[in-house]
Structure 1
């Protein structure tokens, strides 16, 4: 089981990679704890200058540190409910492994 600090470290690494790809400094801004991991969101550090689209919340799984990107068309509870009951699965490009990126 990963600690909250380790999951936050992974979240920051994930968001940093996205920021490098779009050339905008991003920050993790929230955390919701679940039994299977923590859910985070992110925004541009200078949100007055940069508006983001497609920056949905994501889950860092506490068993292996895998990141699961949720969508933006519904609220996070929709994705969490589906994830928990097995009715929603991420697309292959919605999974990020910090050990292989």
Structure 2
């Protein structure tokens, strides 16, 4: 099992990849972190509030593997959490990021 510290480090690496693509500094909004038995769900946004982002939905860092699973933005985060937990929502395979293979 990964510690909260290690999962946060993975989350920061993940948003760093996004940051490099869009050339806007991003931050994890730590007070919005949702802790679940299977991992932590992080939210992020631009460090500078003058920027607005689209498509920056929350994401899960699994505590058994470190794999990052982005949730969508069309629905509230609770929709994705419920769907993930009951198996009715599946992430797109192209969106899953494995920090162990990058």
Q: TM-score, normalised by structure 1?
A: 0.96
Aligned partners of 2:54 and 2:79: how far apart in 1? 19
Once superposed, which parts of structure 1, at least 4 consecutive aligned residues long, lie more than 2 Å away? Answer: none
Residues 12-56 of structure 1 show CA distances to partners (whole Å, capped at 9, x for unaligned) of: 0000110001111100103110000000010001022x1100000
Q: Which residue is 1:66 aligned to?
A: 67
How far, CA to CA, are the matches of 2:98 and 2:49 in structure 1?
A: 27
RMSD across aligned positions (CA):
0.7
Aligned length: 100
Consecutive unaligned residues in structure 2, runs of 5 or more: none
Q: Which structure 1 residue ranges, 5 or more long, are not aligned? A: none
Supply the distance in 2 between the matched residues of 1:77 and 1:56 (Cα, whole angstroms): 12
Find the counterpart in structure 2 of residue 55 from structure 1: 56
Q: Deviations over 1:59-78 (max 9, x none)?
A: 00000000000000000000
Deviations 1:78-98 (A, max 9, x none): 000000000110001220011
TM-score (norm 2): 0.95
Greater share of strand residues, 1 or 2? 1
